[in-house]
Amino acid sequence: MFGFAMSTRVRVCRHVAGRKSGLAMALQSRQSLLRMVRGVGVLIPGTSHSQVTERFQWSVPEVYNIGTDVCDRWAATDPDRLALIEVADNGYGPEARTSFARLKELSDRFANVLAGLGLVRTRDGVPGDRVAILLSQRLETAVAHIAAFKGGHISLPLFTLFGPEALLHRLRDSGARVLVTDRASLAVIAAIRADLPALEHIFLVDGLPDGPADASLHDLAAELAATSPEFTPVRTRADDPAVIIYTSGTTGNPKGALHAHRVLLGHLPGVEISHDFLPAPDDLFWTPADWAWIGGLFDVLLPALHHGIPVVACRFGKFSATAAHDLIRRFGVRNAFLPPTAMKLMKADPASRDWSLDMRSVASGGETLGTELLDWGRKALGVTINEFYGQTECNMIVSSCGALEPPVPGVMGRPVPGHRVDVIGPDGAVLGADAEGAIAVLAPDPVMFLGYWNNPQATEEKFVTGPEGRWLVTGDRGVRRADGRLRFVGRDDDVISSGGYRIGPAEIEDCLLGHPAVQMAGVVGQPDPIRGEIVAAFITLAPGHDPSEPLRLDIADHVRKRLAAYEFPRAIHFIDDMPVTTTGKIIRARLRDMFAKGGPA
């Protein structure tokens, strides 16, 4: 049914940061568990990255459940503690606050509802039934995930902007038996329902629609009110399957990455270091990233709840820099995960130069940060933006940390404590400093996926075995510098080969953003009979600028003066909309497709 990467199974309290005596490891393991129980970070702050890494020890209990960790633990020790602030109307509407006690009650009620349907629970590593959640940022989204975890089922986050084909693929491939959604999305589901024989129950958060009765439709609020608030969570193992998150599908059909409950514990070091260590007094999280993706769910919502940090739930109909600024000010948001697209739109707003926000931490991932965005972050947000790196299959494995050292523009950062990340060759051997190769993560690792759902062949192809063991290959190219930091070069198919030079797009895109007329930039290789490829830039212009030949020449000259002579874009195409994934990554394959179809319009 799915392909397990068996080498990703993690032993309890496995130490990967360095060698220590058995007594020292036991003591540190106990200290780490106590810190987790008390809501203190798993990382012990220090004065250097090496010191923080040396102090870190993985502590993965044999029995562990995400739902009880992020909800029941706080409900038992501090029931009135604030968990969620839900706000509508792009952040300008009324707010609703939810305590951990209320979150526990609602999730226990829904877990009882799911149990009453006869859903299969995960047992001895065999996956239980799937519960799909097609909702934006709102209370019921958190409730549904937590209930599925506590009930021993597998949650399946889905994005509300998916069309019928995208939903059909994910729901049919996963075999979801339950869907939690709203009436707006029900219309899309109705069009594909006949092709989803496994889908038996649909719960609606905003009541039943008018029309003929349908026994498969349920009013979620009514079902919760009629159900017992007492529920005993299933004792899941840390290695038991917990969630399927489908990849963004930039290369072929999206694949379902199956993760174990331990995936949340595996995220904690990366989340903490990318936010200059968590938790701190008055921390408050928000992200414009949807909770349907690993970035919104496991980089923000669940780690924040684990730490007892409140989360603002507000999904914008369309992202607005002004609304984002106003929301941050209104609620005193101290911590944010801002995808690259959101930051570029915020930076392009002239008013952002005078924001002078006083945030404590901002993290970003998905595209390399350069000098322009880092400088803007210091002025507008009041922080040094930390860049992190990861992917759906193995997330938050590299990060910068402004609290430890200044970032290097264009460089991702260092491997997060507890993760072995390096650059390897085709044979799985680690390459030397400054050599370009495949970015890879050594298995086993708590944050590493179990395998691709229904796709054991793709799971096997994701790994390569070398002298040091089995590596998960990310599909990205990179370089490990002599100082230990990792520099992202590009996806395997993003690297441009021009006149004998291998050119990564990220540095050029960052340079382009420094031109006042450029709002967003995507760089790809354009076929050329002489050089093989030339650097081609696709640009959306900032307000107040119109396409022209003089502007095209000025932008090219802007890059030529700042980067190597072979890196400036010899072709510049102005476009109205930049193709990006829902997580903010530029879809360079779409840009390359324009050449195959006869060139940009």
Separation CA 102–CA 81 (nearest Å): 10
In contact, 17 and 453? CB cutoff 8 Å = no
Residue among 551, 535, 538, 451 nearest 496 (CA):
535
Judge whether 128 lies within some domain: yes
Residue after which a domain boundary falls, among 246, 281, 313: 246
- Residue 502's pLDDT is 67
Query: Can you tell me whether residue 323 is helix, strand or coil?
Result: helix
Model pLDDT for residues 449-488, shown as the tens digit of each residue: 999 999 999 999 999 999 999 999 999 999 999 999 999 9
Residue among 402, 385, 328, 319 nearest 358 (CA):
328
- For 487-523, letters b (16+ CB in 10 Å) and e give bbbbbeebbbebeeeebbbbbbbbbbbbbebbbbbbb
- Residue 600's pLDDT is 67
Question: Is this prediction's pTM over 0.85?
Answer: no
Judge whether 554 lies within some domain: yes
Separation CA 154–CA 159 (nearest Å): 17
Phi/psi zone of residue 123: left (φ > 0), alpha (ψ -120 to 50 degrees), beta? beta
Query: Can you tell me whether residue 80 is helix, strand or coil?
Result: coil
- Residue 599's pLDDT is 65
In contact, 451 and 444? CB cutoff 8 Å = no
Domain limits for position 536: 493-596
- Residue 506's pLDDT is 80
Q: Tokens for 56, please give them.
A: 């870190």
CA 563, 566, 570, 573 dihedral sign is: negative
Could you tell me which residues come within 8 angstroms of residue 583 by beta carbon, excluding any fewer than 6 positions away?
248, 289, 293, 295, 339, 366
Query: Can you tell me whether residue 261 is helix, strand or coil?
Result: coil
In contact, 246 and 260? CB cutoff 8 Å = no
Judge whether 112 lies within some domain: yes
Angle at 111 between CA 105 and CA 114, to 5 degrees: 145
DSSP H/E element including 541:
strand 532-541
Judge whether 158 lies within some domain: yes
Give the CATH number for residue 507: 3.30.300.30
- Residue 192's pLDDT is 95
Judge whether 125 lies within some domain: yes
Residue after which a domain boundary falls, among 226, 246, 266: 246
Judge whether 406 lies within some domain: no
Judge whether 383 lies within some domain: no
- Residue 16's pLDDT is 38
Residues in the chain predicted with pLDDT less than 70, given as ranges, are 1-39, 248-252, 500-502, 582-583, 596, 598-601
Give the CATH number for residue 188: 3.40.50.980
Residue after which a domain boundary falls, among 211, 246, 281: 246
- Residue 32's pLDDT is 46
Query: Can you tell me whether residue 259 is helix, strand or coil?
Result: strand
In contact, 204 and 182? CB cutoff 8 Å = yes
Q: How many domains, the chain?
A: 2
Judge whether 26 lies within some domain: no
Residue among 297, 279, 241 nearest 64 (CA):
241
Classify residue 126 by burial, with Cβ atoms within 10 Å: 0-12, 13-18, 19+. exposed
Separation CA 99–CA 150 (nearest Å): 18
In contact, 570 and 556? CB cutoff 8 Å = yes
Residue among 388, 333, 370 nearest 355 (CA):
333
